A and B are shown apart, each in its own frame.
Chain A
């Protein structure tokens, strides 16, 4: 078990390095524009450009810049803590701004996760146990529709119908409500529609995935043995079937949580939620590369971390993996 974790850790370190490298290439090497010019603002003088170039170390060769960059993002090596860059437009360091918005994104993610698990898993199980029934066909059909619709379309339709200011059936706080909410209940209410919209696609994916896995699992020999032992059907399906079929779902869940924590950019944009995703979106609109770079790096780190956690969790679930 310890060896397994150690191997995973080594791989994670390598992965983080690779991601840092790729991000650096993406944002410092690829763009054809001059970052010093972009940073300098409107109609800068050549001296200003030069001083900016020197200040941000842009006059050094690329490999040196990369090493500096690594030093910046590591907690104990850099000059003043962890440094993710400085925004072109916001006149602030990127990392603090990201961390500021993190709670919002966590809140959005957590609510959606709870909702889609609560909907997706039961539907997946029921559809698998009652394959071919009208319930199965109906839920899989609906699931397919929710998978095929982009989340921003669902969001716009939801707002159109339910936004309490402009919707046809005004029942829920809509666009921009979160930004204006102060108390916890108000914030939660403002997130109801985003949670539902976000959860819809994921619930559909998870239901379909679990259904497929469970149907396959229920064909396995050990299920036949369980029935031959005289176990109740409920026990066979849940303790033996679902228990085995749910493991890939755990992996998927970790990945999805990691992605969402990096910023549910599409949902946050539609509903005007001031999370990390929205932060990135604003930056994209004005080509504020350091901010985009920072959020991409942040998001990638989260995903890698979640993958590691999930892999370790997997070893607890599946005893065969431990060696």
Chain B
């Protein structure tokens, strides 16, 4: 008999609020997701959506005097939120590793790259300095840095942007973690280098069977890499599904907006990009009802009062969405949008249809 294995990472109703002089900042307001071993999970959202804070919280890096954290985070069966600081320290860089957006500012400018990687190794493994150094060189080679032994002796500012990010990846994977969290790993890099880095992550993931969480604002980044995607807005997950579904049959207006605002090679040249109107909301005073309603082209009166819950789409239990529009309406709207109709026109078209029905 085969009992299904528990997910590697299980986040349940995670809430992270910060008390500040100006009010309570609800950075993360009740999100749940899970990541299986060896899988890739994408979290997509704008700045301020809470995507980074949620992952930092998984690592225990948001604990502070003014932070109010609740919910549950289980990693490999272990509770992380309630774990002691020493327990968390042993998890970080060892079972779960994280890489960040700007590799230049994320590496210490005064220490050689090899030393920083060796440091990561020695804080979790009982090895000699020489052995740790060898491991550092080995990792640098693995991430595709030429002449790794010489490079380990260099300082971060002597590397190019792409090589620095590779070095960060080397450092993160040095202790063979089960989960790698990549927070905007390519945002600070040139476009050509971006593809290389993503490829590298995928390759290493295959080789070491590491689970990966990719956090980004760019749907294009997760299109190829992720198995499942969660779309975050204003501290909540508004849509969650496997990658194919997100791109083929998304159901949340915000996701539609994200998809439409990506410039595509195959769209007509003189076609306008359709940005999402408005700005991200304040996390202290969130809009009433549905958080997205001020920017949603299909908003109705009720949406200003009722807060949508994340619920499965009828017939697709693994596809969840938090939207008050009836599923049929959403499907019709998406059909219109796919044909190239602009949101306003789509809304008018579908509403007319509904009144007629």
Residues of A at the B interface (CB closer than 8 Å) are: 132, 220-222, 224-233, 235, 240, 243-244, 317-320
Contact = CB atoms under 8 A, between A and B. Distances in A.
A70 to B, nearest CB: 41
Given A221-B105, A227-B61, A229-B120, A319 B155 contact: yes
Contacts of B90: 230
A239 to B, nearest CB: 8
A229 B92 contact: yes
B108 A230 contact: no
Contacts of A227: 61, 92
A230 B171 CA distance: 12
B149 interface: no
A229 B106 contact: no
12 contacts: A222-B106, A224-B100, A228-B59, A228-B61, A228-B93, A228-B100, A229-B123, A231-B89, A231-B123, A232-B89, A244-B109, A319-B155
B152 interface: no
B93 A230 contact: yes
Contacts of B93: 228-231
B153 to A, nearest CB: 11
Contact of B92 (A132, A220, A222, A230): A230
B163 to A, nearest CB: 16
A141 to B, nearest CB: 21
Contacts of B171: 229
A231 B102 CA distance: 20
A226 B108 contact: yes
B105 A319 contact: no
B28 interface: no
Interface of B: 59, 61, 65, 85, 89-94, 97-98, 100, 102, 105-110, 119-120, 123-124, 155, 157, 168, 171
Contact of A230 (B91, B106, B155): B91
Contact of B97 (A220, A221, A228, A319): A228
Contacts of A318: 109-110
B100 A221 contact: yes
Going nearest first, the 6 A-B pairs with the smallest beta carbon separation are: A230-B93, A230-B92, A229-B93, A221-B105, A229-B120, A222-B108
A230 B109 contact: no
A244 B124 contact: no
A226 B106 CA distance: 9
Given A222-B106, A227-B92, 17 more contacts: A224-B106, A227-B61, A228-B59, A228-B93, A229-B92, A230-B89, A230-B90, A230-B91, A230-B93, A230-B94, A231-B93, A231-B123, A232-B89, A240-B108, A244-B108, A319-B155, A320-B109
Nearest to A243: B110
A228 B98 contact: yes
A222 B109 contact: yes
Contacts of B89: 230-233
B110 A228 contact: no
Given A224-B100, A228-B97, A229-B120, A319 B110 contact: yes
A250 to B, nearest CB: 13
A317 to B, nearest CB: 7
B119 A222 contact: no
A191 B109 CA distance: 41
B156 to A, nearest CB: 9
Contact of B107 (A132, A222, A243): A222
A244 to B, nearest CB: 6
Nearest to B60: A227
A133 to B, nearest CB: 10
A232 B92 contact: no
A244 B120 CA distance: 19
Query: A228, A233, A319: which has the most chain B beta carbons within 10 Å?
Result: A228
A225 B119 CA distance: 12
A244 B111 CA distance: 10
Given A221-B102, A224-B100, A229 B108 contact: no
B135 to A, nearest CB: 14
A36 B285 CA distance: 80
A221 to B, nearest CB: 4
Contacts of B119: 229, 231
B109 A319 contact: yes
A319 B171 CA distance: 21
A271 to B, nearest CB: 41
Given A319-B157, A320-B157, A230 B123 contact: yes
Nearest to B91: A230
Contacts of A319: 109-110, 155, 157
A224 B61 contact: yes
Contacts of A235: 123
B117 to A, nearest CB: 9
Contacts of B109: 222, 244, 318-320
Contacts of A224: 61, 100, 106
B48 to A, nearest CB: 18
A231 B90 CA distance: 9
A318 B110 CA distance: 6
Contacts of B85: 233
Contacts of A233: 85, 89
A201 to B, nearest CB: 30
B168 to A, nearest CB: 8
